[in-house]
Structure 1
Amino acid sequence: MEQQIAFRYPLRGPGRGQILLIGNGLEYKSGQRSWEELVRDLTLPEKRGMGEAQHLPFPLRYELLSTPFQVPNPMERRDILQEERRLAKAMKKMVHTSNPLLEQLPELHMDHVFTTNYSYCLEHAFFPRRSFEKRGTRSKFRFDLREASEKEGKKREVQYRLHTGYWFPDPDRPQGTALWHIHGESSVPQGIILGHDRYGRLLARIVGCCQEIGKRAAGAEGELPFFSWPSLFLFGDVYILGFGFDECEFDLWWLLRRKQREHNGDGKVYFYDKPPFDPQRKTRHLLLEANGAEIRTAGADAATDYDDFYAAAIRDIGRTVEERRRPAEEDKA
């Protein structure tokens, strides 16, 4: 049974949505498998040892290594199903346990947490007594923000979860926290965003979400309802932690640029990274700054332990979120 909830925020000023975006960096302490291990699982036997594929962006490398040499054109349904079965088998190896870093996230009382991870490590941090590997648990906490008229006659979102997530009823904050798997989740292999084709199809839908909220935002005053995670990203404050923002994540790079050009909103983006910065990371920082992001180190330096860096970054995010909320909450009091 899906939760019937709504998210309403002003487009500008205090009270806008506070969003944490996390990546695989926060799951390493859970013993999570790396992207390279996932690629090895999905590589066909005849393509193992293709060292020349290493330079390719991850989504294209996946397409190359998971596609047979003699694939027909157009692909047969059988080939597509075999690829989906291999992906489902690989997803069963994902780790679904929390860790001390993830367990600090509920204390931030964020409005939303976006994750590019496929596992349920995040959910186990918020719901330590629940098993999100079970369908019944997922159904209990799932929400779908599509309006009733849009959902009528349609199936539950599977392949592209733009409007669907899990709602954590925060006892200290009635609004709760929404947890979003923006690139899919392991229990639904056909919804995993991994290859170049899937990234492209997702981006087309993100563009549609931004066009929808853009039309409603033009000339609007006060609060607006938000129905998708891309629209929340567009107008909220976004804090990025444990996510490298690799150049291949072109759906999020597009969304970051679109956010920078949104004149109806004033949400900020903060990217947390630990020194020292090699030339590649420095270049990425310049690209992030060119797209409106602020680089933060949370006071860390080259000698800072990674656990200490993450803990400091989480504290810094908490302070900033509190500052962003204070004026609006005082007005409502």
Structure 2
Amino acid sequence: MANTSEKTLLVGNGINRVFCDSDYSWGDLLKDLSKLGSFDSGNIDLSNPFKPLPLAFEEILRAKQNYYKESVQVLKRRAAEIFEKLPVRKAHKMIVMSAKYRNVLTTNYEYTLEKAYAEIRYPDKNYEDLCKNKISTNEEIHSLMRRYEFTDECLAVWHIHGEINHTKYLNAEKILPSNSILIGYNQYVSYLDTIYRYFFTEKKTKYTEYTSLQEKMTTCLADPSRLNIETWIDFFFFRDIDIIGLTLDFSEMHLWWILNRRFSLIKDSDIFSEETDKKASFTPTNTITYYYPKLSKNCLEEKCSDALNDVKQKAILNMLDVLGVITKAVKCKSYEDFYTQVLGHNALASINKGWKKWSQSLI
């Protein structure tokens, strides 16, 4: 899909919070979920900033008065309903119009990026009709290969934390909408296990097939032109990545594990003991850059920011530095200014050039 000169973008929920007049945070999601159905949620503290979202989700499940599995399904459906209503905004259009990225990895469940791309390039068509893969993946729960690639091959959106409409999974015994949404601690742990196994083990079934990351590393050493990008994890080892709008909280254990694994290969100090790991040594040469806004002190948007307190932010930035990730503070007067600087003014110009044509859909 991608060649070695292309950059990849990893984006989080920050793009859905550029305009604070209709802000919706993960904390808001938890509060909504805690009010759903039959709960004894009087003792659940969702205001504590040190309580990780995956564990807070499990706490809500424990308060629900029916079976755990049924509760997960109910809460995921509700989460899908909430995120499905998020509108396409200027930030989404700046991302898909940026000339720098053809592959966008997102932790978001909804389809605002796909909709933004369709609205700009094909305003009379639905985004699903423009995708090469009408079904994003044959994975039922986890999301190594979950993506939508447009037929013009100019953009692919990878939903690395699942998606809200999972009724498209053809081979499920029971259709469970939003089954792939990654939100609870149990699913985070099982997802990490799936990622770990992918490093060393290929998968070949009737519906899903990929080679292991270890095999891809061997291929890249022999002939980089033969490398086939099959999962979003591959980008972390073979392509340059820019990260924006993503807090990278320490609860994102799978992302931190991948960054740690990558850095151990760079330093040739891999601590893994798998026999397959003793093959020819591969050293990642790609760069990963983490951009974060540094708003001016008089910025009105500071009051609606979900930025971490200084202590936690310094800890995250420090660990990123330790693991070989480039961290860049972007001085900006607003969040829109932040995205414009990182994505490139050409993205904003592309939108403004067609302002009259798309004025009804721009926010």
Partners of 2:324 and 2:195 in 1: how far apart?
19
- 1:67 equivalenced with 2:49 (yes/no): no
The question of whether the paired residues in 1 share the 8 Å contact of 2:97 and 2:117 is answered with no
Partner of 1:306: 335
Query: What's the CA shift for 1:216?
Result: 3.2
Partners of 1:305 and 1:139 in 2: how far apart?
33
Query: What's the CA shift for 1:158?
Result: 2.6
Partner of 2:191: 202
> After the TM superposition, which of the residue ranges 32-41 and 197-206 deviates more from structure 2?
32-41
> After the TM superposition, which of the residue ranges 19-28 and 86-95 deviates more from structure 2?
86-95
Partners of 1:56 and 1:17 in 2: how far apart?
37
Query: Could you say which structure has the greater relative contact order, defined with CA pairs below 8 angstroms and 6 or more residues apart?
Result: 1
Partner of 1:249: 252
Partner of 1:296: 328
- 1:221 equivalenced with 2:223 (yes/no): yes
RMSD after superposition: 2.7
Q: Secondary structure at the match of 2:222?
A: coil
Partner of 2:238: 235
The question of whether the paired residues in 2 share the 8 Å contact of 1:158 and 1:190 is answered with yes
Q: Secondary structure at the match of 1:92?
A: helix
- 1:286 equivalenced with 2:318 (yes/no): yes
Cα 1:269–1:195, aligned 2, differ >3 Å: closer, same or farther? same
The question of whether the paired residues in 2 share the 8 Å contact of 1:142 and 1:164 is answered with no
Cα 1:272–1:180, aligned 2, differ >3 Å: closer, same or farther? same
Amino acid at match of 1:167: E
The question of whether the paired residues in 2 share the 8 Å contact of 1:297 and 1:313 is answered with no
Partner of 2:95: 105
Cα 1:264–1:272, aligned 2, differ >3 Å: closer, same or farther? same
Query: What's the CA shift for 1:180?
Result: 0.6
Partner of 1:331: none
Query: What's the CA shift for 1:243?
Result: 0.5
Amino acid at match of 2:342: A
Amino acid at match of 2:62: T
Query: What's the CA shift for 1:118?
Result: 1.0
Query: What's the CA shift for 1:264?
Result: 3.3
Q: What's the CA shift string for 1:92-138, capped at 9, x where partnerless?
A: 12224211111111222413100001111111111124556xxx649
Amino acid at match of 1:22: V
Query: What's the CA shift for 1:8?
Result: 5.4
TM-score, normalization by structure 1? 0.75
Structure 1 residues without counterparts, runs of 5 or longer: 1-6, 10-14, 72-77, 146-155, 319-333
TM-score, normalization by structure 2? 0.70
The question of whether the paired residues in 2 share the 8 Å contact of 1:25 and 1:242 is answered with yes
Partners of 2:103 and 2:118 in 1: how far apart?
15
How high is the sequence identity, in percent, across the aligned residues? 24
Amino acid at match of 1:294: I
Q: Secondary structure at the match of 2:248?
A: coil
Q: Secondary structure at the match of 2:139?
A: coil
Partners of 1:113 and 1:8 in 2: how far apart?
11
Q: Secondary structure at the match of 1:244?
A: coil
Q: What's the CA shift string for 1:215-262, capped at 9, x where partnerless?
A: 332242232112111122222111000001111101101111122233
Partners of 1:131 and 1:254 in 2: how far apart?
37
Cα 1:186–1:46, aligned 2, differ >3 Å: closer, same or farther? same
Partners of 2:106 and 2:325 in 1: how far apart?
18
Query: What's the CA shift for 1:53?
Result: 7.6
The question of whether the paired residues in 2 share the 8 Å contact of 1:23 and 1:117 is answered with yes
Partners of 2:79 and 2:216 in 1: how far apart?
41
The question of whether the paired residues in 1 share the 8 Å contact of 2:147 and 2:158 is answered with yes
Query: What's the CA shift for 1:90?
Result: 2.9
Q: Secondary structure at the match of 1:192?
A: coil
Partner of 2:115: 124
Amino acid at match of 2:142: Y
Q: What's the CA shift string for 1:46-87, capped at 9, x where partnerless?
A: 11452288332111111012223777xxxxxx4312330232
How do 1:1-333 and structure 2 match up within 5 A?
Answer: 7=1, 9=3, 15-29=4-18, 31=22, 33-43=24-34, 45-51=39-45, 54=48, 55-68=50-63, 78-94=67-83, 95-109=85-99, 110-128=101-119, 129=123, 130-131=125-126, 137=129, 141-142=133-134, 156-170=138-152, 175-188=153-166, 189-211=178-200, 212-218=212-218, 219-223=221-225, 224-262=227-265, 263-275=282-294, 278-298=310-330, 300=331, 304-315=333-344
Partner of 2:170: none
Amino acid at match of 1:114: L
Partners of 1:220 and 1:144 in 2: how far apart?
31
